[in-house]
Structure 1
Amino acid sequence: MLQAGTSRGRPRPVPFHLALAGSTLATAALLFAPVAYAAPADDIRINEVVTTGSVDDSIELFNKGSATVDISGWILKDDDNGSKFKIPSGTRLGPGTARAFDVDGEFGLGSADKARLYLPDASTLVDSFGWSSHSAPSWSRCPDGTGAFGKAALTLGAPNDCGSGDGGAANPVAWPGGGSVATADGSNVFGQDLSGLYQEGGVLWGAQNSGKLWRLVRDGSGGWRPDTANGWSSGKALRYPGGSGSPDSEAVTLTAAGAAGGAYVASERNGDASGTSRLSVLRYDVTTGSGGALTATTEWNLTAGLPSVGSNLGFEAITWIPDATLTAAGFKDESTGAAYDPDRYGAHTGGVFLLGVEGTGTVYGYVLQDGGAATRVATIASGMSAVMELQWEPQAARLWLVCDDTCDGRHRTMRIGASGTFAPAATYNRPSGMPNLNNEGFALAGAGECSGGTKPVYWSDDGNTGGHALRRGTIAC
């Protein structure tokens, strides 16, 4: 029921958004197995309620049981029996899975109100929670699905913050997608040392430690093969500006300009002088020429401004975040102590590059100016012993940090918090079907590949285990 002091947000074209959390998650086989429809209803619980703040009024549901439950047509209400939000058809909750529903388009949640969940008959009550003051900013169960409600940080899209101060990120939970993992390349195509990945639509870019860049195209069966055009069949050797050296290419990313704007490669050393650190970002023109080598158009050598690390423990990861995204989130510029202002840096790539260091697990943010200057604007403690890959996922406004077998294949997400700095959101175990591989690369498909609530993701195994360097899985959209 709409009451005085009720929060009203802007209407949204999509009435709910997906959020994954919890301790166990359905494997792909489970997701396609028979599911429970009305029972076990006792496993579905109201898990988080937001009545005011930076998001529209929302109710999150959590499955604390061991079977997937179809909650299509179930009803959410406030304390007014005339209010009703009908959960969309096709909505299922796997074990340990949560979905947050934006109910603001149907009813508001007041400062003294209730959240109630009913079966599709709208009269059989499944769960309810009442409160006497607005959330500040969230009313959350701790632990998820089973504990008592209390005031907590807003964690829609991550495990509830139960006092750890990190949104639950210190406690790894199950992979937020299918557990099944399959190979995504031919036998012994790449050999060892395939590292960073970046997907650009129908192209997957791969950086190989041996100083090589790959342009991969779809193979027609859900995997990838080397592009056979324009000299890419065996990958292209990378060189420093001037044509010399062999960068130890560990990671690759693109900017909003796509491949036309150049591929940006992170390197930790020159393979021709492998005992010396050379922490660099190199830009390559990848759209012209049919030769077997690429010479960098620009090098940003960042070694002097960073703590010393072993020559094989330097840059392992790179990603790029648009200026508009950072300014909208109130990102704080470490170099000035104020809100990030892209205009102070003149001509640059229109965003900030984040680079992960293997030896320390630290992530650094840089503005790389077109003329070759670089300014460090962020230093981020990842909380992981090593960072082997970074990926910015724009659809979810979150940063993915990936560790290899050093950390049992864990993945961490971070978001820009109210302080303008990156803070942990959640930590996920590797998919249940993934062995503890030396995965140094990770790439997420774009929103356009979402189907049935999931989209593909890919990993590169530096060890080429079983003759395969690429594997694919799924993640919730």
Structure 2
Amino acid sequence: MTEVRAPGWRRRLALLLAAVAGPALVAGTLMASPAQAAPADDVRINEVVTTGDVNDSIELYNKGTSAVDVSGWILKDDSNSSKYKIASGTTLAAGGFRAFDVHGQFGLGSKDQARLYLPDGSTLVDGFSWSEHSAPSWSRCPDGTGDFRAASLTLGAANNCDGGSDGGAGTSPVAWPGSDSVTTADASNVFGEDLSGLFQEGGVLWGAQNSGKLWRLVPNGSGGWKPDTANGWTSGKALRFPSGSGTPDSEGVTLTGAGSAGGVFVASERNGDASGTSRLSVLRYDVGGGAGTLTATKEWNLTSDLPSVGSNLGFEGITWVPDGYLTGAGFKDASTGAAYDPSRYGSHSGGVFFVGVEGTGTVHGYVLQDTGTFTRVASVGSGMAGVMELQWEPQASRLWMVCDDTCHGQHRTMQVDASGVFATTAVYNRPAGMPDINNEGFSVAGADECVGGSKPVYWADDANDGGHALRKGSISC
């Protein structure tokens, strides 16, 4: 695919002709873009997702050196009657990416266009056409200037121009790195549906349930888990936002280096009492005491900082990575372009929280400061259609990313590479003994449970298939 762009007087002539004849489209190519006064001309359509099963999205990228206010700009498909108006107050930072899920206004078909206009609705800024659905993404390579090509989904982050659909690892999926045997790890119908995020803290397994509930589980004596019956945990505890109201759609759970004494952190994609609206938040809970309802002591609402997604396509997984690993590995802070320096953020958790977005398949890293402010320091494409769980494994210094039956139970691992960014190190199929079910939670046991070269791992099945929500397997230590 080639870019049609006229330099100098030819480009000015193209603008004049466009004004007279209207925008022209060359099938399978970029459309000619009229000249705009800088910095508007720096904004480009950078990625398009047309699959519809996850979302229909158009990502914009600012390849310039100054921010651009894109308030009121209009996205269209191949019909002039289809319009998505970008919300007031939307700014695209220099080098910034922002994706817009347009499916609420129009769908992107297998043979269609994505077009960007100034607020007048008639001045074309950029456009791209295609003749088949994305698989899963049409992405510019390199960002902002190159031709479009099939690539992995990276909405809200730099395009993956090197690794194709395998997410940059340059590897194909391989067999599960442990036993193929998988067993149930709970009694029949203890949790019902919607058990999602998991995190093991020694002899306790924390579980987040979508209905706004947190579970504290203890060993059941048979290699599995059961609800703790002490301190009001028998049926789990209800979660609330800091106001004491609302029902967080709790999808993921993690702890910091301080353990549960430092608070339990839950990722929520919306308020279940207003389920049609995204509310991409990380919530901190004090789990001491016997109260049956837990009110968040802090909320970091990240919605405005992330690409818009459907209200049920937001945060699914969360994990915490210590500053010590990041600085030692030479992690690059995307907000500064320099080596990550924890001291510039003042008092925070001593690490970075990584959250996975189902609707974009992207993992974002945030420093969540104790003051309630936050800074995004990373955005990484997972290479999967959706991210359902994240888990940091200290023993192997690797970040696990998990997809459910949308990706047939694929797992990926990442580590910081020589360029300072997280990159895929392995792609694993699910264990042969694991049915292709809706696993939305994954937890890895600590090094202290390594016996004979392997240790346990656990999955949470959101659908409670066969009356069981927890399953147990193993991985190599």
Q: Is this a same-fold pair by TM over 0.5?
A: yes
Task: Say yes or no: does 1:453 pair with 2:442.
Answer: no
Tell me: CA distance 1:311–1:168, structure 2 relative to 1, closer, same or farther (3 Å): closer
Aligned to 2:176: 175
Measure, in 1, the Cα distance between the counterparts of 2:276 and 2:346.
Answer: 35
Shift of 1:164: 10
Tell me: CA distance 1:319–1:162, structure 2 relative to 1, closer, same or farther (3 Å): closer
Aligned to 2:238: 237
Shift of 1:180: 0.4
Unaligned runs of 5+ in 2: 1-161
TM, length-normalised to structure 2? 0.65
Secondary structure at the aligned position of 2:344 is classed as helix
Range 163-172 or range 182-191, more displaced: 163-172
Aligned to 1:247: 248
Secondary structure at the aligned position of 1:406 is classed as helix
Report the residue type matching 2:259 in the other structure.
Answer: G
Shift of 1:168: 5.0
Measure, in 2, the Cα distance between the counterparts of 1:263 and 1:318.
Answer: 11
Measure, in 2, the Cα distance between the counterparts of 1:164 and 1:278.
Answer: 29
Q: Percent identical across equivalent pairs? A: 76
Residue deviations 1:220-242 (CA, integer Å, cap 9, x gap): 00000000000000000000002
Aligned to 1:85: none
Measured on the aligned residues, the alpha-carbon RMSD in Å equals 1.6
Write the mapping of 1:117-136 to structure 2, written as runs, cut at 5 A: none
Shift of 1:291: 1.8
Q: For the Cα contact (< 8 Å) 1:335–1:377, is it kept in 2?
A: yes
Task: Say yes or no: does 1:442 pair with 2:434.
Answer: no
Measure, in 2, the Cα distance between the counterparts of 1:198 and 1:205.
Answer: 5
Secondary structure at the aligned position of 1:230 is classed as coil
Shift of 1:167: 7.4
- Runs (4+) off by over 2 Å: 161-170
Shift of 1:439: 0.1
Residue deviations 1:20-48 (CA, integer Å, cap 9, x gap): xxxxxxxxxxxxxxxxxxxxxxxxxxxxx
Aligned to 1:89: none
Shift of 1:292: 1.1
Unaligned runs of 5+ in 1: 1-160
Residue deviations 1:391-424 (CA, integer Å, cap 9, x gap): 0111111110000000000000111000000011
Task: Say yes or no: does 1:379 pair with 2:392.
Answer: no
Q: For the Cα contact (< 8 Å) 2:253–2:267, is it kept in 1?
A: yes
Aligned to 1:470: 470
TM, length-normalised to structure 1? 0.65
Measure, in 2, the Cα distance between the counterparts of 1:460 and 1:280.
Answer: 21
Tell me: CA distance 1:165–1:269, structure 2 relative to 1, closer, same or farther (3 Å): closer
Measure, in 1, the Cα distance between the counterparts of 2:168 and 2:278.
Answer: 35
Aligned to 1:213: 214
Measure, in 2, the Cα distance between the counterparts of 1:162 and 1:348.
Answer: 34
Report the residue type matching 1:266 in the other structure.
Answer: A
Measure, in 2, the Cα distance between the counterparts of 1:395 and 1:245.
Answer: 37
Tell me: CA distance 1:172–1:453, structure 2 relative to 1, closer, same or farther (3 Å): same
Residue deviations 1:131-185 (CA, integer Å, cap 9, x gap): xxxxxxxxxxxxxxxxxxxxxxxxxxxxxx9999977554100000000000000
Secondary structure at the aligned position of 1:325 is classed as helix
Measure, in 2, the Cα distance between the counterparts of 1:169 and 1:204.
Answer: 34
Measure, in 2, the Cα distance between the counterparts of 1:273 and 1:456.
Answer: 38
Report the residue type matching 2:200 in the other structure.
Answer: Q
Residue deviations 1:424-467 (CA, integer Å, cap 9, x gap): 11100000000001000000000000001100000000000010
Secondary structure at the aligned position of 1:466 is classed as helix
Secondary structure at the aligned position of 1:448 is classed as helix
Task: Say yes or no: does 1:203 pair with 2:204.
Answer: yes
Report the residue type matching 1:401 in the other structure.
Answer: M
Report the residue type matching 1:327 in the other structure.
Answer: T
Task: Say yes or no: does 1:350 pair with 2:350.
Answer: yes
Q: For the Cα contact (< 8 Å) 1:347–1:370, is it kept in 2?
A: yes
Report the residue type matching 2:462 in the other structure.
Answer: D
Give the paired residue count: 316
Secondary structure at the aligned position of 2:307 is classed as coil
Task: Say yes or no: does 1:281 pair with 2:276.
Answer: no
Residue deviations 1:302-344 (CA, integer Å, cap 9, x gap): 0001110000000000000111110000000000000000000
